[in-house]
A and B are shown apart, each in its own frame.
Chain A
Amino acid sequence: MSIATMVAELAKGMVVSTEVFVLTLLFSLPLGLILSFGRMSAHAPLCFLTKIYISLMRGTPFMLQLIVVYFAPFYIFGIKISAGYRFTAVILAFVLNYAAYFAEIYRAGIESIPVGQYEAAKVLGYNKVQTFFKIILPQVVKRILPPVTNETITLVKDTSLAFVLAVTEMFTVAKQIAAKEASMMPLMAAGAFYYIFNLVVAMVMERLEKKMNYFR
């Protein structure tokens, strides 16, 4: 197999990896925020439930979570699993897992905002929704960018775990070619792809950080 063909094959796999990456971020970032509200809630049962959820998501192997999400509809509800569910299950598992991590990052950010900001907003008459979205959240976003970058970079590499549910993303392609050609080359090339992807992610995040530098 020529190098050009190999790169073309890997690029096809990359499309799937990128889909997993984008969809996961798109849904887990807002879901994480909602979870962090539950985690910080004064309502004890709600707080307890989110705590358990986060603990399970962080404390069990992600590979197992992928399998559970894929097979649960059949084993628990007796629903026949269609082939199309594979990709959905991958996204669902990624979102559920990453949201747990993001929830804790949001919590750290929100709890780091001085209480004086809430008090100033209250005395000025802002309601709770305005206070959160206008006053608190912009400051939280600035503070959590570095840990979010960390998670995002991990996510790029984690997309390779989609192979567990036989979703053919880039690393799966690389392994198949490597096996067929009896060569390390495809795997190294895949490594280069991930590295470049992450360079771009890091650059974008650095830009965002710079953009938020207008205040301190």
Chain B
Amino acid sequence: MNFVEISHMKKGFDGLHVLKDISLSVKEGEVVSIIGPSGSGKSTLLRCATMLEKMDGGSLSYLGKKAVWEENGKCVYASRAEMKEIHKQFGLVFQNFNLFPHYTVLKNITDAPVSVDKVAAAEAKERAETLLEKLGLADKRDAYPYQLSGGQKQRVSIARALALQPKVLFFDEPTSALDPELTGEVLKVIKELAAEHMTMIIVTHEMQFARELSDRIIFMEQGIIQAEGTPDEIFNCENERVREFIGKFQG
């Protein structure tokens, strides 16, 4: 089954077509990286897929459940109750973490399971502690976000997303706000998740990382998917623009 199914997604802002016609399906356990120049629509794609932005056209479904579809040329969103179920299927990790500054690390991770999913407090705490252990943050459980480094913040935000046990995890440039040293510790965590066959869609500028980790790489430019394939296919691609783009990163 396709965990994520995006077809003919379109999105514009004030007449500017940011996403022209994007179709993308992601299977269970697949890791898909999205690369491309700034302004190509990568982040908008993620924001539409996670319903932070409303789509103008096309359809979207998670694990076979329709979230958005088109009727008479307009996008229709699933009912509130259905959407609540669909929302549980995915998580999103932001570029600038967006941790809740007034909550401790532990509370950042346990609060959504408890107040949204009505998980018992003790179980949420157990989940959080397991995650913190796994991500090497056990000693930070009582710290507040301002006391953490960027890399630690990003790992906490990954733990926060995982605590809701999503089926699909989106990453929006998870290391772009970090220096190279801190980038490494976050990429390591994502690699571990890939090894556990977490279904992930990652927007990134880390070419080497995308190459090592992904089952599939998507190159976006000007609101469309210009090239798509296995890392080897993309890195040896004939497409002029893809070669040029990747060439810049490899120096």
Contacts and interface: CB of A to CB of B under 8 A. Distances in A.
A122 B146 contact: no
Interface stretch (B108-116, B128-136, B203-211): B108-116
B37 interface: no
Nearest to A125: B116
B115 A134 contact: yes
A126 B103 CA distance: 15
Nearest to B92: A123
A158 interface: no
Interface string A91-128: 00000000000000000000000101101101111100
Contacts of B51: 122
Interface centre among B50, B96, B112 (most CB of A within 10 A): B112
Contacts of B144: 214-216
A134 B111 contact: yes
Majority DSSP secondary structure for residues of A touching B: helix
**Which of A123, A138, A215 is most buried by chain B, counting CB atoms within 10 A of its CB?**
A123
Contacts of A123: 50, 52, 87, 91-92, 161
Which of A116, A120, A138, A214 has most chain B Cβ within 10 Å? Answer: A120
Number of chain A interface residues as a range: 10 to 19
B248 interface: no
A119 B94 contact: yes
Contacts of A142: 102
A216 B146 contact: yes
27 contacts: A116-B98, A117-B98, A119-B52, A119-B98, A120-B100, A123-B52, A123-B87, A123-B92, A123-B161, A124-B112, A125-B84, A125-B112, A125-B116, A125-B164, A126-B112, A126-B115, A130-B115, A130-B116, A134-B111, A135-B100, A138-B102, A139-B101, A142-B102, A215-B101, A215-B102, A215-B103, A216-B146
